[in-house]
Amino acid sequence: MKIVKTIKELRHLLPEGESKNKTVGFVPTMGALHRGHSSLVQRCSRECGVTVASIFVNPTQFNDKTDLARYPRSLEADVQLLQATGCDVVFAPDEKEIYPQPDTRLFDFGLLEKVMEGERRKGHFNGVAQVVSRLLDAVKPDCAYFGEKDFQQIAVVSEMVRQLGLPVEIVRCPIVREPDGLAMSSRNALLSPDQRAAAPLIAKTLFAAVDKVCSVDLPALKQFVASAINANEHLRLDYFEVVCARTLQPVASLDDDCAKQACIAVYAGEVRLIDNVRLA
């Protein structure tokens, strides 16, 4: 496995244009890797000739600077995990390499970014689009792999790829969970023992909502989820939304005729955890 820090070194290593004889797969990450990331890398290396993973904690997607400062960083362990999971090239640039000048581009994702994470974390998806477009431009992959825990991120990145006409397939990969159900996230490392013990209630409540969907209406489902989460002293519900899985717009009723996704964000102290599940 090769580790490079510059786009020039990366381009030197990767096949391109006429000489290209292998497909290139890409897994963008912010490091602090876990089994969710390994599953993306493993799938990428099964499906592509060359697997590239990036490690870059992108400042432009953090609307809260203390969140950026405390974001977990573990480069050595990350490199070991990538080595063990079949990654061929690690791209670990510094900030100047990705942003030689400040990126002032403003994307417009319409209603996709007006709900849930986009509504609460102003500028977050603009920052994600800035960095992902730069990384895609550097790696020039045929396929890029994203985990469905960040359900809205996949919708926004797919829309960005469509708007910019980028020749890359966005591959959605299922959420990987801890044995107790908690969705894998780099932020789980920030939980205190009490918060960690409480956190599986998030997935448990989502799965209970799936079981209830045929027997209650939308307000009752929302009430059930809010009560279940807020009853735990270590958790506080930020939002629970049932949205159309394609447009991400909240449904008016559980009888709406579309594939529905139940999406949740919960605070455990200062740590914000998100999760989602298909409802019907």
Active site residues: 37
- Nearest distance in Å: CB 54, ligand PAF: 7
- With CB under 6 A, what is the number of residues at the site for ligand PAF? 10
Name the residue nearer to ligand PAF (CB basis): 58 or 261. Answer: 58
Question: Do residues 89 and 14 touch, judged by C-beta distance below 8 A?
Answer: yes
40 binds ligand PAF (CB under 6 A): no
When asked if residue 131 is in the footprint of ligand PAF (CB under 6 A), the reply is: yes
CB of 134 to ligand PAF, least distance (A): 10
Q: Given candidates 41, 112, 128, 161, which one binds ligand PAF under the rule CB under 6 A?
A: 128
Question: How many residues are given for the chain?
Answer: 280
The yes or no reply on residue 126 touching ligand PAF (CB under 6 A) is no
- The one among 50, 87, 132, 235 contacting ligand PAF by CB under 6 A: 132
- Nearer to ligand PAF among residue 130 and residue 261 (C-beta): 130
Return phi, psi of residue 117, to 5°. -60, -40
Nearest residue (CB) to ligand PAF, 71 versus 240: 71
Does the protein bind ligand PAF through residue 28 (CB under 6 A)? Answer: yes
Considering the rule CB under 6 A, would residue 29 count as an interface residue with ligand PAF?
yes
Residues that bind ligand PAF (CB under 6 A): 28-30, 58, 61, 128, 131-132, 150, 153
